[in-house]
Amino acid sequence: MSHADLDQTAKSILTDNDQGGYTIPTKGLYPYQWNWDSVFVALGFATFDQDRAWREIEMLFEGQWRDGMVPHILFRKDDPSYFPGPSVWGTNGGPIPSSGHSQPPVAASVVLDLVRGDRTGQALERATALFPKLMAWHRWYMTYRDPDGLGVIAVIHPWESGRDNLPDWDDALRAVEVRDIEPYERKDTSHVDPAMRPHKEDYDRYLSIVAACRKVGWDPAKVAETCPFFVADPGVTFIFLRANRDLLALAQQLGMGKEADEIRGWIARMESGAKALWNPDIQAHVALDLRTGKQTDGISCASFLAPYAGLTDTATMAAQRAHFDRMASKVRYMMPSYDPEHGCYEALRYWRGPVWAMINYMIARGFAEAGDPARAERLRNDTAALIETSGFAEYFSPESGAGAGGGTFSWTAAIWLTWASPSHVEQAA
């Protein structure tokens, strides 16, 4: 297919997955509105319909909980093709049935992009309406996912990280006692080859964490205190630090002085706290189990989000470049979701090795902003080549380029439109 044909296919995927103001990731496998999926989808819509881009984010925030949390799934209908559905979660925190935890908070960053790229004349008005909701969500993160003020953001469930079966969760997940779960039937493996999905023993523990949180009524303070899984994640930490910087820029543009001061405090706390994620033995930021104090020993794609978060000191950047080049010598396509030289790497199993387009986009943006356009361009070219070769798959093998997971995937289409498409790059030039 030509680049123009791929552009049109990507637009068609977004419009076909549109459910009337919100977009599902793909039909069958993911029939609901997912948090960070929707926000990346907004970037894609913004290339041809900015009003629809705003609507995507506005509809996501319709599901915001009373305590400020924005859930990772909004169950706007009960679709039997997906498990676990709303009855398993047992939540009552907001106006729409939902899951009980959040997902990587990219919304503030995309809202700022929409404001800066506005062609409608309505962006400041719509951003003003969203701003207090963004503030409430960010306060929730600072309060309940960093309850001890460490400056790193914990996840209470692998699903909250957005990178479900990452090897970094293995040890912490093994410590979760399998209990309080009813017999269940997974639906994901009826849509996708089981070899590309998490194992059953992982799912047993995923559901045990849900059961433990349901026992305390999803009270965020009690969850932070008692949840059997509580791991500081470089992915959410770096995405959130970037989101706070972007929320500060938005506050300044909107004249929100008091809020700007509050956000500056969050940024300072996190800039200091990020040091706790640095593993000196492997020269990378890694996950930290806050229940045991143990760091992980592997380098994930999230380790490369430090520049995206604005952490560009000399030592960090030197380590980033060295690891980038080492991994690039081991795989055909960058960026594998886990170090291909680590024993837990699997080229086609979800977050244990495959390449994800939206992660490449964030990593590349960080490298470009840090003054490293060559590595940023390598990521863009690889992402484009993967899509040209294997279509708009959920994720891709870093070795063969084969597409895997769900097909006609919304955020892959969105990343093509907003960043990876050569025709988009030519227009920007």
Q: What is the pLDDT of residues 248-257, one digit of tens each?
A: 999 999 999 9
Amino acid 182: pLDDT: 76
What gap in Å lies between CA 369 and CA 362, rounded to an integer?
11
Indicate which residue of 188, 246, 297, 394 is catalytic.
Answer: 394
Q: Which residues have CB under 8 Å from 275's CB, separation 6+?
A: none
pLDDT at 426 over 80: no
Q: What is the mean pLDDT of residues 389-408?
A: 96
**Phi, psi dihedral angles at 233 (to 5 degrees):** -115, 120
Residues β-bridged to residue 382: none
Q: Which residue has the tokens 């960080």?
A: 366
Average pLDDT, the chain: 94
Residue showing tokens 């380590």: 319
Asked whether 239 and 104 are in contact (CB, 8 A), the reply is yes
Mean pLDDT score, 213-242: 97
**Residue 82 pLDDT exceeds 90:** no
Average pLDDT score over residue span 167-195: 78
Amino acid 428: pLDDT: 46
Is residue 373 within 8 A of residue 310, CB to CB? The reply is no
Strand partners, 231: 155, 289
The answer to whether residue 425 scores a pLDDT higher than 70 is no
Q: Output the pLDDT for position 181.
A: 73
* Confidence tier at 414 by pLDDT (50, 70, 90): very high
Higher-confidence residue: 263 or 179?
A: 263
Give the DSSP H or E segment for 294: strand 294-295
193 burial (CB, 10 Å; 0-12 / 13-18 / 19+) is exposed
- Please tell me which residue in 7, 37, 146, 164 is annotated as part of the active site: 164
pLDDT value at residue 420:
97
Q: Can the peptide bond before residue 84 be classed as cis, meaning omega within 30 degrees of 0?
A: yes
pLDDT band at 193 (very low <50, low <70, confident <90, very high): low
What are the C-alpha distances in Å from 59 to residues 38, 70, 136, 140? 9, 11, 16, 19
DSSP H or E segment with residue 6: helix 3-16
**What is the C-alpha to C-alpha distance for residues 123 and 329, in angstroms, rounded to an integer?**
43
The residue among 332 and 187 whose pLDDT is bigger is 332
Cβ-proximal residues to 371 (8 Å cutoff; 6+ apart), any chain: none
Question: Residue 429's pLDDT is what?
Answer: 40
How many other β-carbons are positioned within 10 Å of the β-carbon of residue 188?
20
CA angle 171, 279, 151 (to 5 degrees): 85
The answer to whether residue 164 is catalytic is yes
List Cα–Cα distances, 136 to 106, 144, 164, 385, in angstroms: 14, 12, 25, 39
Cα four-point dihedral sign 42, 114, 244, 322: positive
Name the percent of the chain lying above pLDDT 70: 95
Q: What confidence tens digit (pLDDT) does each residue in 340-375 have?
A: 999 999 999 999 999 999 999 999 999 999 999 999
